[in-house]
Structure 1
């Protein structure tokens, strides 16, 4: 099943909702901390983000039983260096969560000087979702996905 795309802010959310590709459920696009859904949440799937030379970080699929939501949390093993522009030469590390039944996707980016980010949530009661990460640095690119839950 194809992805609907990465969502950044309310404009992207409106564009996905308008296409009819994905459904808008309670908590879709909401922050896990500000809603209280992060309280009591667990990591239900995780994967090491590794290229052929080195382990770069960990991508986790977090789940809140209380809210029936999932989101991704990406943690780097080292602080993110210069990234995101032509002079840096590397893309900033990013994570995403995707709901399998309709492809709704939200993402986060780790900016220079940071080590972690988490995405907005997808509602997934009775559905499954997965987390994915992409990390680009001097040692190469790594793209890793968790199993679905």
Structure 2
């Protein structure tokens, strides 16, 4: 009987340790107010400003602009990617290219939201991340016949 209890106790310690290791490895980020919200419907986009931007380009071509948008009223940021031309066929094997997209990433905990520009469109914006007292950045990626481009803004 004693050896069975000892075996169960050891199994509990191992299982508990694995659980803590899994929690530490996943790096779960804290969700703040407005995390994942739509800037327009939340009323945060009205007086927002572009605080950082970068040209999405490679050695051969410029494709558009990635912006980090900031709302002082909501203390949030989001990414907006605007292409110079509408997105051609993308996202499947016959197109041969991935669709352009943007991400906003909060530096403090890595929380990330993204958006995709589908065929025929030229712009997308991501959901928001709360940013008061923290920093975040925007990233944009384009895949075209002229090559790939992946760029990020400075953090704000």
In structure 2, the residue matched to 1:113 is: 120
* Deviations, residues 90-114 of structure 1 (Å, cap 9, x unaligned): 0000000000000000000000000
TM-score, reference length from structure 2: 0.83
* Deviations, residues 116-148 of structure 1 (Å, cap 9, x unaligned): 000000001000000000000000000000000
In structure 2, the residue matched to 1:90 is: 97
Once the two structures are superposed, the pairs formed by residues 41-60 of structure 1 within 5 Å of their partners are 41-60=48-67
Aligned length: 131
In structure 2, the residue matched to 1:124 is: 131
* Deviations, residues 36-60 of structure 1 (Å, cap 9, x unaligned): 0001000000000001111100000
Structure possessing the higher relative contact order (Cα contacts under 8 Å, 6 or more residues apart): 1
**Offset, 1:21:** 2.1
Task: Provide the C-alpha distance between the structure 2 equivalents of 1:101 and 1:20, rounded to a whole number of angstroms.
Answer: 11
- Extract structure 1 runs of 4+ deviating beyond 2 A: none
Residue from 42, 45, 52 that aligns with 1:38: 45
More helix by share: 2
Instruction: Give the RMSD, CA atoms, in angstroms.
Output: 0.7
**Greater Rg by CA:** 2
- Structure 1 gap segments, 5+ residues each: 1-18
In structure 1, the residue matched to 2:78 is: 71
- Structure 2 gap segments, 5+ residues each: 1-25
Task: Provide the C-alpha distance between the structure 1 equivalents of 2:92 and 2:138, rounded to a whole number of angstroms.
Answer: 25
Task: Provide the C-alpha distance between the structure 2 equivalents of 1:132 and 1:118, rounded to a whole number of angstroms.
Answer: 11
In structure 2, the residue matched to 1:141 is: 148
